Amino acid sequence: MAPTPWWKNASIYQIYPASFQDSNGDGIGDLPGIISRLDYIQSLGVDAIWVCPMYDSPQYDMGYDISDYEAVYAPYGKVADVEALIAGCHARGLRILLDLVINHTSHEHAWFRASRSSRTDPKRDWYIWRPPRYDPATRQRQPPNNWRSFFGGSAWAWDEPTQEYYLHLFAPQQPDLNWENPATRQALYASAMEFWLQRGIDGFRVDTVNMYSKPQDFPDAPILDPSNPYQPAASLFCNGPRMPEFLTEINQVLRKYRPHGDAITVGELPATPDRSDVLRYVSAAANQLSMVFQFDIVDCNMGADLRFNTVPHTWTLSDLRARVAATQTLMDGSTDGWSTAFLENHDQARCVSRWGSPGKHWEKSAKMLAMLVASLSGTLFLYQGQEIGMTNAPNHWDVGEYKDVDSVNYYRYVQESTDNDPVAIQNAKQALDYLARDHARLPMQWSAAPQAGFTDAEAKPWMRVHDNFKEVNVKGQTDQEDSVLGFWKALLGVRKQFPGVFAAGVYRDVDPENEEVLVFEKLGRGEKLVVTLNFGTEVREVQELEGLLKGKSWRVLVGNYEGDGMEALRPYEGRIYLVDVETATVA
């Protein structure tokens, strides 16, 4: 049997450079700051880090708008600092992934500057330019189709000097590259991938991995939202026909540097709920991506076409557990696929504020959610601050604290489209308080010192530090053994100790109708886990427990309360039982 590749049993820590650690008092996190925290990261027991974009960028979308793949955003540092970070990781036995953002560049990238300079420029065809349509009745100029951008408005921007539209699935400052042109692809591979592979990185998290192959007739999307001239169109531009070909090319580039396949790709896979579609990307035989980020879990309680079009806190446990089960079926033993387990990233609100209880039960619920994600199969991803139970920004903060382009555009859209209706605006603020991407981008809480130790006391951090930093921070939790942080370290430890059941076991939901307690099994060879998680504040009996443990030798591997292991679950109590399935059944 081939040995398990390193990344299958790995836990990977995600870093958001702007918000991790500032080293020079300008209020912006930076690469020297990350380097200064590598010992901390190593102490968690993770195997690798993923660093969000640190490339040069005008920052319309926090670095997901890259103006030069081969340079570093000056406030973060220089290329030499990335080299030092790579060396610092490798010296500690950590691997390092960078973010690969190649669906679009910044409008300030030299390629786009050339492309927009004239219709005859050799790089014109490197981006997606189309002539306008005209409304037959009014003769008004219109975008080439009705697609809506992810950040609101048309996905097409008019370029006055050259009298054409260009496509931008995200902000207008993020023009989409034309992947149909082979010269564009070769330039991308060389600049965005090879430049960094030559410097020794161990792989990429691949942004929006399924959007490169667009339908070349750019058809209108079906009208799902009659109140808006622009329609969500992800079903049309995601998972297009040439994706396999493009990913094969990407793999060839990786293999050139890492012939043994130990450099990995983690593709971000939005708008792809069907298991068979996911499998085409992650089947080992297909050789496309090492694994993907599925959206099932993090999309829970989001509006279908617009994240903020939701009523906060109306999710149900049966819905959440169905989403968990859906991602887990990729690793049910019937496929050669692989996926990831995660509850947070830089695009998501904090998990304690979504499915736990940031108030009185903060600590118990943070630990309970840690048990959930750490027990799932797939490669585990942990987002900075999640390991100390960081929570969403307080609801009483002014809307002006929200900086993300998605949040700002949404709020403005509500103001304008409702003529400042106070109820609509209040609902919009509540939706932001619940689900905005900003919550993940608050400064990391290192200590109870001013500015949470993220930056100098006198400095103004680029985002406000959470009010709760004196109670929730790394230093305090390092000193305290039963902290959320200590709990996470223990979980990562047992996950390493029993990879067969934790990272690769077959998931079975025991009671899909249960709205209070999530009970599941993870079946491995010779052993299994039984996981019981109370999602509420009532004491709950787990009816099935006796049957699941009966006649077997078992012990509680991890739990967030004291006890003998058989009592009813207290508020937000969770337990992970390790069961020896070989034990003879006692009558």
Active site residues: 207, 268
Q: Strand, helix or coil at 478?
A: helix
CB nearer to ligand ISL: give 96 or 234: 234
**Residue type present at position 65:** D
Minimum CB separation of residue 577 from ligand ISL in Å reads 35
Q: Strand, helix or coil at 176?
A: strand
CB nearer to ligand ISL: give 72 or 302: 302
CB nearer to ligand ISL: give 171 or 576: 171
- Residue 5: closest CA among 379, 266, 377, 294: 379
**Cα 209 from Cα 239, distance rounded (Å):** 9
CB nearer to ligand ISL: give 21 or 310: 310
C-alpha distances (whole Å) from 570 to each of 169, 362, 389, 561 are: 46, 14, 20, 8
Per-residue DSSP letters for 505-551?
Answer: PEEEES-TT-SSEEEEEEE-SSEEEEEEEE-SSS-B--TTHHHHHTT
207 lines the binding site for ligand ISL (CB under 6 A): yes
CB nearer to ligand ISL: give 214 or 307: 307
147 lines the binding site for ligand ISL (CB under 6 A): no
Per-residue DSSP letters for 201-246?
Answer: --EEEETTTT-SS--TT-PPPP-S-TTSSSB--HHHHSS-TTHHHH
176 lines the binding site for ligand ISL (CB under 6 A): no
**Residue type present at position 468:** N
Q: Which listed residue (12, 15, 18, 28) binds Ca ion by CB under 5 A?
A: 28
Could you tell which of ligand ISL, Ca ion, none binds residue 207, using a CB distance below 5 to 8 A set by kind?
A: ligand ISL
**What does the per-residue mask of binding to ligand ISL show for 261-280, with x meaning CB under 6 A?**
-------x-x----------
CB nearer to ligand ISL: give 406 or 521: 406
Q: Strand, helix or coil at 335?
A: coil
Q: Which listed residue (10, 15, 16, 30) binds Ca ion by CB under 5 A?
A: 30
**Max Cα-Cα span within the chain:** 84
For residue 221 the two structure tokens come to 């999307």
210 in Cβ contact with 198 (< 8 Å): no
Could you tell which of ligand ISL, Ca ion, none binds residue 26, using a CB distance below 5 to 8 A set by kind?
A: Ca ion
511 lines the binding site for Ca ion (CB under 5 A): no
Q: Which listed residue (105, 208, 391, 427) binds ligand ISL by CB under 6 A?
A: 208
Could you tell which of ligand ISL, Ca ion, none binds residue 170, using a CB distance below 5 to 8 A set by kind?
A: ligand ISL
24 lines the binding site for Ca ion (CB under 5 A): yes
Could you tell which of ligand ISL, Ca ion, none binds residue 22, using a CB distance below 5 to 8 A set by kind?
A: Ca ion
Residue with the shortest CB distance to ligand ISL: 64
CB nearer to Ca ion: give 313 or 460: 460
Q: Which residues of 66-105 are buried (b: 16+ CB within 10 A; e: fewer)?
A: bbbbeebbebbbebebbebbbebbeeeebbbbbbbbbbbb
Query: Which residues are paired to 508 by β-bridges?
Result: 521
Q: Which listed residue (30, 47, 61, 164) binds ligand ISL by CB under 6 A?
A: 61
438 lines the binding site for ligand ISL (CB under 6 A): no
238 lines the binding site for ligand ISL (CB under 6 A): no
Could you tell which of ligand ISL, Ca ion, none binds residue 253, using a CB distance below 5 to 8 A set by kind?
A: none
81 lines the binding site for Ca ion (CB under 5 A): no
Could you tell which of ligand ISL, Ca ion, none binds residue 270, using a CB distance below 5 to 8 A set by kind?
A: ligand ISL
Number of residues that bind Ca ion (CB under 5 A): 5
Q: Strand, helix or coil at 452?
A: helix
- Residue 477: closest CA among 486, 489, 468: 486
**Cα 344 from Cα 27, distance rounded (Å):** 24
Cβ count near 416 (within 10 Å): 9
Element holding 70 (H helix, E strand): strand 68-72
Minimum CB separation of residue 64 from ligand ISL in Å reads 3
529 lines the binding site for ligand ISL (CB under 6 A): no
Q: Which residue has the tokens 């509500």?
A: 414
Strand spans (E) along 280-414: 291-293, 340-341, 379-383
CB neighbour list of residue 120: distance below 8 Å, 6 or more residues apart: none
CB nearer to Ca ion: give 441 or 522: 441
347 lines the binding site for ligand ISL (CB under 6 A): yes
22 lines the binding site for Ca ion (CB under 5 A): yes
Query: Which residues are paired to 517 by β-bridges?
Result: 534
Binding site for ligand ISL (CB under 6 A): 61, 64, 101, 150, 170, 207-208, 268, 270, 307, 346-347, 406, 437
Binding site for Ca ion (CB under 5 A): 22, 24, 26, 28, 30
